[in-house]
Amino acid sequence: MDTVSAARTPAGFYYAANNFRAAEHGGTHLDAPIHFAEGRKTVDQLPLEQLIAPAVIIDVSEKAQADRDYQIGVDDFAAWEIRYGPIPDKTIVLLRTGYGKFWPDRLKYLGTDKHGAEAVAELHFPGLHPEAARWLVANRNLNAIGLDTPSIDYGQSKLFESHQILFDKNIPAFENVANLDQLPTKGAFVFALPMKIKGGSGGPLRIVALIPSVNQ
């Protein structure tokens, strides 16, 4: 960020303005389908009604804390549905691994404190198993999916298959989502509005939730 002005002007009033530039995929951000699926939607093409919707939380934090390479599987969704019923249509599905609490400790959050290409082989954090991605797109009608790790595929993924499977169906992913520990299993209403970058493969995401005052 470059400061354009942060000072009192000759006319007497204070004036602040900056210029900034950023990666599309930094911090809390949205992956648009085109990120891993040629010809699919760019970030500006995602309809708002897909990004403003009720949310459910799938909590896998116990397994994910015990295994940094944990992949959220079909079994996890099946167990959730036995308890809470089928994931409703047009839902935003949020995966709670518990890793959000490690941010911004690189070693704990990513599994390595190396940077860039050097770090890639050493990334260890949980993600969505490709089989579960396949099951979700075939059997459920979700609007979007998100989680509290840097990637919808786990850290050791080489082919990023969950990205490919979801994005082929124009289902976007939210990554590095914070504060998932504060959401109820059901009943939250999420607004996930990315910066509208024309032709963008993703963008910085301001994601917030309304939470019912009486939690179930």
For 198-213, b/e burial (b = at least 16 CB within 10 A) is eebbbbbbebebeeee
Residue 31 or 80 with smaller CB distance to Zn ion: 31
Q: What is the dihedral of CA 155, 158, 160, 164, to 10 degrees?
A: -170
What is the smallest separation between the CB atom of 13 and Zn ion, expressed in angstroms? 40
**Quick check: 175 and 31 in contact, CB under 8 A?**
yes
DSSP letters spanning 112-143: ----HHHHGGG----EE-HHHHHHHHHH---S
Among residues 205, 202, 125, 138, the alpha carbon closest in space to that of 165 is found at 138
Q: In the structure encoding, which two tokens stand for residue 139, read together? A: 């059997």
Interface mask toward Zn ion for 159-188; x: CB under 5 A = ----------------x-------------
What is the smallest separation between the CB atom of 119 and Zn ion, expressed in angstroms? 15
Match 């116990």 to its residue by tokens.
62
What is the smallest separation between the CB atom of 33 and Zn ion, expressed in angstroms? 12
Residue 80 or 167 with smaller CB distance to Zn ion: 167
Residue 98 or 194 with smaller CB distance to Zn ion: 194
Residue 80 or 175 with smaller CB distance to Zn ion: 175
Contact flag: residue 148 with Zn ion (CB under 5 A): no
Which residue is closest to Zn ion by CB? 25
What is the smallest separation between the CB atom of 25 and Zn ion, expressed in angstroms? 4
Give the containing element (helix H, strand E) for 2.
strand 2-8
**Quick check: 173 and 24 in contact, CB under 8 A?**
no
Interface mask toward Zn ion for 1-40; x: CB under 5 A = ------------------------x-----x---------
Number of residues that bind Zn ion (CB under 5 A): 3
Among residues 66, 119, 75, the alpha carbon closest in space to that of 97 is found at 66
Residue 129 or 163 with smaller CB distance to Zn ion: 163
What is the smallest separation between the CB atom of 202 and Zn ion, expressed in angstroms? 5
Residue 80 or 110 with smaller CB distance to Zn ion: 110
What is the smallest separation between the CB atom of 7 and Zn ion, expressed in angstroms? 37
Interface positions with Zn ion (CB under 5 A): 25, 31, 175
